[in-house]
Amino acid sequence: MPITSRFLDPLTDFGFKRLFGSEPDKDIMIDFLNVLFEGEKVIADISYSPTEINGASSKEKKVLFDLTCTGADGEKFIIEMQRTDQEFFSDRCVFYMSRLISSQLAKDSSNWSSALSEVYLIGIMEFSFKESDGDYLHNIKLANLKTGKVFHNGMGYKFLELPNFDKSEAELQTDLDKWFYVLKNLSSLDKIPAILDKRVFQKIFKIAEVSKMTKEEQELYDSDLKAKSDWNAGIEWAKKQAAQEAFDEASKEAEQRILQIAHDLKMQIARKLKQKGASDAEISELTELSLEEIKAL
């Protein structure tokens, strides 16, 4: 697939890591996190962490994150991109969270004299939850259902439902709006919107300029775009196949129901003819029912 956009797609693996996963440009990730947490916490600095974490034993499943980083105060952030909904997506998010939490306690240690480091998972989603309420940012924490009081402040989930964000450039007001707009629309823009005058956005557009990439980088990005296109095409094909199968099944059931109704009507007519003294042979000829069915009436 040839590259035709001026700016790369931040929702490809290549684009996402190019913009968010570079140590020299970590101010992009820092700004993104600070906007998401909106004063709930302030991230002064981050360091990128390994994206692969082994279990405590060889029998435990290895996990591989898209990106993970640690804040200056020790808080840990998992950043995951998700293209489409999966049956156990929420389970996987909980598992990822639990793995980073459990890894903080050394093996054979029972020392609870110090608090665990905070852990947060941020999901950037190209789909909407099945039970979506239309919001484009979901903040989830462990809380008391009766009082609403947060039980533990040191963990939480933030899910960005990009399909639900439909603001135009003229409607952008907050930095959060602008971040959503960039994530969703960067690859379709041909220039930097005037409203995105914040330094971090200017930097993003500069890094995202496809023409500034090396030949090797363009080849990697092109391969990533093709993989995403193939994935999306596969999903669309699967949806169409499922819809066709559902239609065929519904049509088959409808046809069987119509045949059953027609048969029941013939049986009613046969009963009435029999009551009027018509012979079984005459009734069979008129209704196309078998003699065995008519004799059983």
Element (H, E) at 121: strand 119-125
Q: How big, in percent rounded to 5, are the helix, strand and coil portions of the chain?
A: 50, 15, 40
Closest to 36 in 3D by CA, of 154, 147, 178 = 178
Considering 213, 242, 270, which residue would you say is the last residue of a domain?
Answer: 213
State the sign of the Cα–Cα–Cα–Cα dihedral 36, 159, 177, 17.
positive
* Rounded CA separation 158/123 (Å): 6
Q: Are residues 146 and 199 located together in one domain of the fold?
A: yes
Tokens of 98: 């639990």
Domain that holds residue 44: 13-106+114-213
In a domain, 152, yes or no: yes
Q: Are residues 86 and 18 located together in one domain of the fold?
A: yes
Query: How far lies 34's CA from each of 97, 131, 140, in Å?
Result: 20, 27, 17
In a domain, 5, yes or no: no
Mean pLDDT of 134-157: 91
Considering 187, 213, 239, which residue would you say is the last residue of a domain?
Answer: 213
Query: How far lies 82's CA from each of 78, 191, 269, in Å?
Result: 13, 27, 60
In a domain, 236, yes or no: no
pLDDT of residue 111: 63
Q: Are residues 167 and 274 located together in one domain of the fold?
A: no
Give the largest CA-CA distance in the chain. 98
Mean pLDDT of 225-229: 74
Reduced to 3 states, what is the DSSP secondary structure of residue 158? strand
Q: Are residues 174 and 262 located together in one domain of the fold?
A: no
Q: Are residues 260 and 171 located together in one domain of the fold?
A: no
* Overall number of domains in the chain: 2
Q: Are residues 194 and 259 located together in one domain of the fold?
A: no
pLDDT of residue 234: 60
Other beta carbons within 10 angstroms of residue 179's beta carbon come to 23
Query: How far lies 63's CA from each of 146, 192, 276, in Å?
Result: 34, 37, 79
Q: Are residues 25 and 155 located together in one domain of the fold?
A: yes
Q: Are residues 93 and 180 located together in one domain of the fold?
A: yes
Q: Are residues 169 and 271 located together in one domain of the fold?
A: no
The pTM of this model reads 0.72
Considering 190, 213, 236, which residue would you say is the last residue of a domain?
Answer: 213
Residues 88-140: pLDDT tens digits? 888 889 888 888 888 777 655 566 667 788 999 999 999 888 877 889 999 99
Mean pLDDT of 131-156: 89
* Rounded CA separation 96/99 (Å): 5
Amino acid of residue 197: D
Q: Which residues face 77 on adjacent strands? A: 69, 120
Which is it for strands 155-161 and 119-125: parallel, antiparallel or unpaired? parallel
Q: Are residues 74 and 130 located together in one domain of the fold?
A: yes
In a domain, 173, yes or no: yes
Closest to 9 in 3D by CA, of 245, 220, 290, 234 = 220
pLDDT of residue 52: 79
pLDDT of residue 110: 62
Q: Are residues 209 and 158 located together in one domain of the fold?
A: yes
Q: What is the CA radius of gyration of the chain?
A: 30
Q: Are residues 202 and 290 located together in one domain of the fold?
A: no
Q: Which residues face 101 on adjacent strands? A: none
In a domain, 4, yes or no: no
pLDDT of residue 195: 95
In a domain, 7, yes or no: no
In a domain, 224, yes or no: no
In a domain, 228, yes or no: no
Look at residue 150 and tell me whether its pLDDT is greater than 80: yes
